[in-house]
Amino acid sequence: MGRTRKSVGGIVLAVAMSGALPAWGEPENAFDPDQHQATAELIDELSGQGIPRAWLDQALDEATFSQEVLDAMEGAAERRLEWHEYRDIFMSDERVEQGAAFISTHQDAFDRAEELYGVPAEVIAAIIGVETYYGRYKGDHRVLDSLATLAFYHPSRGRFFRGELAAFLAITHEQEVAPESVLGSYAGAMGYPQFIPTSYQAYAVDFDGDGRRDLWENPVDAIGSVANYFAEHRWQPNAPIYHEATGSEAAEQALSFNQTSTPSVTVREAAEAGLVSDDELDPSLEIVPLALTLADGETRYGIGEYNFYVITRYNHSHLYAMAVVELAGAIADTLEGQQ
Q: Which domains does the chain have, with CATH numbers?
A: 6-65+140-190 (1.10.8.350)
Given this model, what pLDDT does residue 27 score? Answer: 61
Contact 206, 212 (CB under 8 A): yes
First and final CA of the chain: distance in angstroms?
59
Name the residues annotated as catalytic: 131
Listed in sequence order, the residues at least 6 apart from 229 whose beta carbon sits closer than 8 Å to its beta carbon are 193, 195, 199, 203, 313, 314
Contact 15, 153 (CB under 8 A): yes
Given this model, what pLDDT does residue 13 score? Answer: 31
Digitized pLDDT (tens) for each residue of the chain, 339 residues in all: 343 333 333 333 333 333 444 434 446 667 888 888 889 999 999 999 999 999 999 999 899 999 999 999 887 666 679 999 999 999 999 999 999 999 999 999 999 999 999 999 999 999 999 999 999 999 999 999 999 999 999 999 999 999 999 999 999 999 999 999 999 999 999 999 999 999 999 999 999 999 999 999 999 999 999 999 999 999 999 999 999 999 999 999 999 999 999 999 999 999 999 999 999 999 999 999 999 999 999 999 999 999 999 999 999 999 999 999 999 999 999 999 987
CA dist 76 and 90 (Å) reads 15
Given this model, what pLDDT does residue 295 score? Answer: 96
Given this model, what pLDDT does residue 23 score? Answer: 38
Contact 222, 193 (CB under 8 A): yes
Give the global pTM. 0.89
CA dist 74 and 63 (Å) reads 22
CA dist 57 and 223 (Å) reads 34
Contact 4, 27 (CB under 8 A): yes
CA dist 90 and 264 (Å) reads 29
Given this model, what pLDDT does residue 35 score? Answer: 80
* Virtual torsion, Cα 321, 295, 275, 318, nearest 10 deg: 20
Given this model, what pLDDT does residue 30 score? Answer: 73
CA dist 303 and 264 (Å) reads 12
* Virtual torsion, Cα 123, 124, 130, 132, nearest 10 deg: -170
Separation in Å, CA 320 to CA 70, 127, 241: 22, 9, 13
